């Protein structure tokens, strides 16, 4: 096991720069998830850690060693690919043993490690099967088994769950997290799914257009998103954004461009009249007689909760309530955003106003 | 009588299904009808000539004279290699054919695989290079054979000329006049012509291998050679079996190249079974004897097909998802 240090790393394909100086520190044993929309450079960064892509600038350290010029096989990392990349002509056991066979490890050691990994992943009965004969989830597990057998310093996962169906994805998510808690191997995991990131990570790195937007523990990102991008990316359904102006004073408030007025607990100093973006998560609304009148547009009950799209000052807001709503479209309900859980962002820079 | 009583048809008005109806409508028969045109073409142009050829080999037919059945006499004339009175020229042609096929196929495979791997890399002008590789395959055989004939000519050979001018030799090389040189020359020409087919087919096979397999193997610690040995080659075996079967069959039955370059000479050193059969049957007029030589190729070809049949068996790893 080892820490990973990414210092001012840059990547350019020809004249197009895709990663613009990224700094990430990953502690020994930490589970770090790189998350972001497609094309944000997260997979490229992972492949640079693996050594499958050259590093155009900056340096990557695994443990104490700078690995910029170290070939992939000497970096002591194991990677799980999105399409699993199992060798189709080898049985499950041979797939897992391949790296050790290449190192000419003694047969008894290979056998021991393969059966240990198979035991961890529940693959004992499948060792003689070929990848074609396995289901998606089983293939996924074999791919992880291949990584575990290596007993590497760092596990790298490249969107390992995107080829699975929704139900299996949830199950494998739990399995991977359990596995990490058991093995405590430093893990870097790439995904575009913020739910995966929130549920599994010790630390999330949100990337966008080749830069790191924010880095921190999942709930830190959820509670205090640093800018509009992170605020909109983390959380599902996404945070509501309302454009308008801050009104400071004895009773500070936020006035939307459409004329809605939202209460604030405090206004940032000297912000009276400043254009800003008001952010509130759907789950931070409450039904309250003292709330703001809102016109119901759509009601979507899911059983455990009810999702309502309602309009305040011409602006549609998504709200989630634990209660069941009987109001229909066109009717008015009174909703109260929790003023303690409101986020204000600068309209120009998109950064959080503390 | 088609009167109906109370809406019910009288017996003669009901049309019973005939046997013809069944042949027309039944699904199994329908399949048969669709297959028939193709089957007729195959029977007419493949099975009938083959059968006729085998029949001819049991007669003493000559050009202009229908033969009479003489049993295995033609084959007795050819004899077995260890017989005193066996047909030496025929057995020489068998030897030539086997050498020609084995050497040419092995070399074609090696060069073809090498080229395919090379063309699978990221090269500048990839498409252009790939089409250049195909040229030998596109040029008509006889044209390329004539070109080789000149290249290997005893007086005007460009190879001899070049080597002489470089001072490496002091007289022309007798390419097509010396038995072993001639064999090497025709094999070389066959290889030149056959490599593109193998290279392009194997390239198609290589492109079906997912690049992430190589990445996974690289991370697992495989060198370039181990990548080839443990990933590329095993995944390529099914397509190698197909392409080498075709290559062996085409090489074994080769005629054009030999006939255009050497006509079997010198002293029958490059006579293949196909050329010898043509010479005996058409030029010498002994249809029966020629047919026997041609028929003698069948066991060899069957053997080649059997080898590939077992090579082509779907390997266990190719079999689909049966989660028993």
- C-beta atoms of B230 and A72 within 8 A: no
What is residue B1's predicted lDDT score, i.e. its pLDDT?
Answer: 45
pLDDT at B38 over 50: yes
- Which of A88, A99, A130 comes nearest B220 by C-beta? A99
Whether residue A134 sits in one domain with residue A217: yes
Hey, are the CB atoms on A132 and B318 less than 8 Å from each other?
yes
Mutate to test the interface with A, among B211, B217, B219 (most CBs of A within 10 A): B219
Q: Is residue A351 part of a domain?
A: no
Are residues A69 and A210 both part of a single domain? yes
Question: B316, A91 in Cβ contact below 8 A?
Answer: no
**How many Å separate Cα A72 from the centre of its chain?**
25
Assigned domain for A302 exists: yes
Share of chain A above pLDDT 70, in %: 100
Q: Answer left, alpha or beta for residue A252, where phi above 0 means left and psi between -120 and 50 means alpha.
A: beta
Residues A320 and A211 in one domain: no
- Whether residues A102 and B213 touch (CB distance < 8 A) is answered with no
Show which of residues 39-68 on chain A sit within 8 Å of chain B, judged by CB atoms: 50-52
Average pLDDT over residues A164-181: 89
Q: Which of B259, B300, B301 is nearest to B148 (CA)?
A: B259
Contacts of B315 in chain A (CB under 8 A): 89
Whichever domain contains A275, its CATH number is 2.40.50.140
pLDDT in tens, B283-320: 988 888 999 999 999 999 999 888 877 776 666 666 55
pTM for the whole thing? 0.78
Q: How far apart are CA B281 and CA B185, in angstroms?
A: 26
Q: Which residue in B13, B123, B149, B212 sits closest to A85, CA to CA?
A: B212
Closest CA to A170 of A159, A182, A161: A161
Q: Which residues in chain A are contacts of B231 at CB distance < 8 A?
A: 87
Chain A's closest residue to B238, CA to CA, is A89
Q: Which of A102, A131, A135 sits opposite B220 (nearest CB)?
A: A102
Distance from CA of B248 to the nearest CA of A (A): 26
* Residues in chain A within 8 Å Cβ distance of B316: 130
What's the rounded Cα separation, in Å, for the pair A9 and A22? 5
Q: For residue A353, is it within any domain?
A: no
The mean pLDDT of B241-257, rounded to a whole number, is: 90
A33 has a pLDDT exceeding 70: yes
What local confidence, expressed as pLDDT, does residue A239 receive?
94
Same domain, A290 and A267: yes
Which of A3-12, A262-271, B160-169 is predicted most confidently? A3-12
User: Is the domain of A153 the same as that of A66?
Assistant: yes
Residues of B in contact with A51 (CB under 8 A): 219
pLDDT tens digits for range A198-252: 999 999 999 999 999 999 999 999 999 999 999 999 988 999 999 999 988 888 8
Do A276 and A318 have their domain in common?
yes
List b or e across B196-223, with b for residues whose CB sees 16 or more CB atoms inside 10 angstroms: bbbbbbbbebbeeebebbbbbbbbbbbe
Instruction: Tell me whether residue A69 is in a domain.
Output: yes
A80 part of contact set with chain B, CB < 8 Å = no
Look over chain B and give the mean of its residue pLDDT values, rounded to a whole number. Answer: 85
> Cα-flanking dihedrals φ and ψ of residue B24, to 5°?
-80, -35
For residue B206, the distance in angstroms to the closest alpha carbon of chain A comes to 14
Q: How far separated are the first and last CA of chain B, in Å rounded?
A: 63
Residue finishing a domain among A232, A247, A282: A232
Helix H or strand E encompassing B37 = helix B27-42
| Chain B neighbors of A52, CB-CB under 8 A | 215, 218-219
Residue B255 burial (CB < 10 Å; 0-12/13-18/19+)? middle
Q: Does residue A31 sit in helix, strand or coil?
A: strand
Question: Domain for residue A352, yes or no?
Answer: no
- pLDDT mean across residues, chain A: 90
What CATH number is attached to the domain comprising A102?
Answer: 3.40.50.300
The verdict on domain B87-314 having CATH code 1.10.3720.10 is yes
At B324 the pLDDT is 37
Closest-CA distance of chain B to residue A105, Å: 12
Contact A89 B217 (CB under 8 A): no
Cα A269 from Cα A248, distance rounded (Å): 8
Segment B5-22, tens digit of pLDDT:
555 656 666 777 788 877
Which residue, B267, B269, B265, B289, is CA-closest to B277? B289
Q: Which residue of A has its CA nearest to B218?
A: A73
- Boundary of a domain, candidates A201, A232, A263: A232
Looking at residue B202, its pLDDT comes to 93
Q: Give the domain range for residue A16.
A: 4-232
A247 shares a domain with A184: no
Rounded Cα–Cα distance for residues A126 and A93 (Å): 8
- How many whole angstroms separate alpha carbon B321 and alpha carbon B302? 33
Do A259 and A118 belong together in one domain? no
User: Does A221 lie in the same domain as A106?
Assistant: yes
pLDDT per position as a tens digit, B98-115: 999 999 999 999 999 999
| pLDDT, average across residues A59-72 | 90
Q: Where are the domains of chain B?
A: 18-52, 87-314
Are A58 and A71 in a shared domain? Answer: yes
CA-CA distance, A80 to A83, in Å (whole number)?
9
Query: Total domain count for chain A?
Result: 2
The answer to whether the CB atoms of A89 and B216 lie below 8 A apart is no
The answer for residues whose C-beta is within 8 angstroms of residue A275's C-beta and 6 or more apart is A243, A244, A245, A347, A348
Q: Please state the separation of Cα B265 from the chain's center in Å.
A: 23
Q: What is the mean pLDDT of residues A16-44?
A: 91
Final residue belonging to a domain, choices A185, A203, A232? A232
The answer to whether residue A134 is domain-embedded is yes
- Angstroms from A70 CA to nearest CA on chain B: 12
């Amino acid at each position: 096991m080892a820490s990973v240090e990414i210092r001012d790393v840059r990547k350019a394909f020809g004249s197009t720069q895709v990663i613009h100086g990224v700094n990430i520190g990953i502690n020994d044993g930490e589970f770090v998830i790189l998350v972001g929309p497609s094309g944000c450079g997260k997979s490229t960064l992972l492949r640079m850690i693996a050594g499958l892509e050259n590093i155009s600038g900056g340096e990557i350290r695994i443990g104490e060693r700078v690995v910029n010029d170290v070939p992939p096989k000497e970096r002591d990392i194991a990677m799980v690919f999105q399409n699993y990349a199992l060798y189709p002509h080898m049985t499950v056991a041979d797939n897992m043993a391949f790296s050790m066979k290449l190192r000419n490890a003694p047969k008894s050691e290979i056998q021991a490690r393969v059966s240990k990994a198979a035991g961890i992943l529940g693959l004992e009965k499948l060792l003689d099967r070929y990848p074609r004969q396995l289901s998606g989830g089983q293939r996924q597990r074999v791919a992880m088994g291949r990584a575990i057998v290596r007993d590497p310093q760092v596990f790298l996962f490249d969107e390992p769950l995107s080829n699975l169906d929704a139900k299996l994805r949830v199950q494998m998510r739990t399995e991977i997290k359990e596995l990490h808690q058991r093995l405590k191997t430093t893990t870097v995991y790439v995904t575009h799914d913020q739910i995966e990131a929130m549920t599994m990570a010790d630390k999330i790195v949100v990337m966008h257009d080749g830069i790191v937007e924010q880095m921190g523990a999942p709930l830190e990102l959820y509670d205090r998103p640093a800018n509009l991008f992170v605020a909109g990316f983390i959380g599902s359904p996404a945070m509501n954004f309302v454009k308008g102006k801050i009104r400071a004073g004895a009773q500070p408030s936020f006035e939307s461009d459409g004329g809605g007025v939202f209460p604030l607990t405090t206004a940032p100093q000297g912000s009276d009249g400043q254009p800003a973006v008001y952010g509130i998560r759907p789950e931070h609304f409450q039904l309250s007689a003292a709330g703001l009148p809102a016109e119901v547009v759509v009601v979507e009950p899911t059983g455990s909760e009810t999702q309502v799209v309602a309009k305040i000052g011409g602006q549609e807001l998504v709200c989630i309530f634990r209660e069941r709503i009987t109001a229909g479209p066109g009717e008015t309900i009174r909703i109260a955003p929790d003023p303690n859980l409101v986020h204000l962002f600068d309209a120009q820079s998109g950064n959080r106003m503390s | 009588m088609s009167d109906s009583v109370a809406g019910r048809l009288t017996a003669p008005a009901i049309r019973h299904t005939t046997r013809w109806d069944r042949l027309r409508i039944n699904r199994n028969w329908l399949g048969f009808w669709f297959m028939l045109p193709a089957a007729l073409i195959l029977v007419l142009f493949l099975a009938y000539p083959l059968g006729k050829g085998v029949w001819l080999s049991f007669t003493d037919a000559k050009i202009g004279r229908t033969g009479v059945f003489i049993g295995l006499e033609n084959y007795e004339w050819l004899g077995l290699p260890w017989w005193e009175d066996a047909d030496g020229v025929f057995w020489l042609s068998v030897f030539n054919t086997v050498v020609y096929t084995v050497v040419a196929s092995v070399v074609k495979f090696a060069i073809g695989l090498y080229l395919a791997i090379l063309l699978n890399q990221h090269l500048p002008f990839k498409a252009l290079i790939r089409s250049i590789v195909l040229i030998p395959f596109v040029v008509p055989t006889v044209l390329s054979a004539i070109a080789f004939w000149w290249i290997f000519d005893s007086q005007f050979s460009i190879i001899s000329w070049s080597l002489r001018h470089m001072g490496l030799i002091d007289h022309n090389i007798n390419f097509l006049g010396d038995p072993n040189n001639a064999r090497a020359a025709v094999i070389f020409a066959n290889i030149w012509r056959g490599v593109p087919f193998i290279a392009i087919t194997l390239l198609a096979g290589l492109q079906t291998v997912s690049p992430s397999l190589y990445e996974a193997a690289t991370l697992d610690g495989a060198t370039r050679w181990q990548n080839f040995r443990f990933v590329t080659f095993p995944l390529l075996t099914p397509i190698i079996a197909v392409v080498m079967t075709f290559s062996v069959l085409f090489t074994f039955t080769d005629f054009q190249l030999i006939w255009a370059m050497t006509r079997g000479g010198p002293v029958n050193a490059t006579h293949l079974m196909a050329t010898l059969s043509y010479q005996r049957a058409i030029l010498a007029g002994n249809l029966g004897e020629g047919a026997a030589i041609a028929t003698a190729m069948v066991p060899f070809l069957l053997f080649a097909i059997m080898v590939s049949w077992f090579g082509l068996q779907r390997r266990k790893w190719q079999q689909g998802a049966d989660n028993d």
